Amino acid sequence: MATRTVAVVLAGGVGERMGAGRPKQLMEVGGRPILAHAVGAFDAHPGIGEVVVVMAPGHLREAAAITAPFAKTAAVIEGGATRTASTVAALRLLDDRPDDVRVLFHDAARPFVDRAVIDRVLGALDACEAVAVGVPSSDTIVVVEDGTVASMPPRETLTRFQTPQGFRLGTIRKAYELALADPGLRATDDCGIVHRYLPGVPIRVVAGSERNLKVTQPLDAVIAEHLASEEAP
Ligand SMILES: Nc1ccn([C@@H]2O[C@H](COP(=O)(O)OP(=O)(O)OP(=O)(O)O)[C@@H](O)[C@H]2O)c(=O)n1
Ligand SMILES: C[C@](O)(CO)[C@H](O)COP(=O)(O)O
């Protein structure tokens, strides 16, 4: 039977904010590349049938070597210039799959996604077409315009999105089809594309985890090393 659930690990970025001189997903934490942690989490999950890795240009061979030990790695493909373009590359690869296939998009830069978070996304996808993962904000978040506070949304309404974000393939495909026809397309995640271009589709939010951090700045690498040491057997 064809795979019903595909995890796409987005590793097409160059890690500019990390400033390591190479993509941060190739950096090691706990003795393993960040990419291996992320792919390993989906490989180990019984609800995931295959894993597609979208890698930064120039690093495909390295990514293939890192992910080869994982039995569910189905493809390592080249990403685009933006996260959005990397998602589109994965959707093109999945072009011939039926609309009811479930697809999870995950940042390779989040090495500590755990089974419970993936469980919640898959569980919600049984009843929903789009699912996000979020954690409450501990900080007060404000909108600043021209150096001045323009608005202060009530903190209890604010949620920090993480990944994986899960979709019925037909839904995310349609949302991107509309998005790609929009010359003003700008997005920082895949739920943002559904929210903007398919506003009638509810996006269910399930609980993420504070451990599911995105390794973005140099300090995050220090925190990630600490988290990895806690996980070591
Ligand atoms: N063209 C891109 C840009 C980002 N990503 C992926 O999207 C995730 C979140 O992006 P981010 O943390 O911004 O990673 P980078 O783009 O590498 O970081 P920076 O913005 O600092 O360059 C990462 O796993 C990254 O590899 C991607 O697949 N393709
Ligand atoms: C998808 C995401 O991780 C949700 O928080 C985030 O938007 C990615 O942003 P980035 O600028 O590509 O790191």
User: Which atom of ligand 1 sits closest to the CA of residue 18?
Assistant: 21
| Distance from Cα 232 to the centre of ligand 2, integer Å | 27
Nearest-CA residue for atom 10 of ligand 2: 188
Instruction: Indicate whether residue 162 lines ligand 2 (CB < 6 A).
Output: yes
Burial letters 191-208, b for 16+ CB under 10 A, else e:
bbbbbebbeebebbbbeb
Could you tell me if the CB of 17 is within 6 A of ligand 1?
yes
The Cα–Cα gap between 55 and 75 comes to 10
- Nearest-atom index, ligand 2, CA of 191: 1
- Rounded (5°) CA angle 75-79-81: 175
Inform me whether the pLDDT recorded for 1 exceeds 60. Answer: no
Question: Percent of the chain beyond pLDDT 90?
Answer: 96
pLDDT tier for residue 65 given thresholds of 50, 70 and 90: very high
- Pairwise CA distance, residues 43 & 24, whole Å: 21
pLDDT digit string (tens) for 28-47?
A: 999 999 999 999 999 999 99
Nearest CA among 77, 65, 67 for reference residue 42 = 67
80 pocket-lining for ligand 1 (C-beta < 6 Å):
yes
| Residue 233 in tokens | 């057997």
Q: Which of 209, 206, 204, 183 is nearest to 194 (CA)?
A: 204
**Residues facing residue 133 across a β-bridge:** 162, 206
Is CATH 2.170.16.10 the classification given to domain 5-132+160-231? no
- Model confidence band, residue 233 (pLDDT cutoffs 50, 70, 90): low
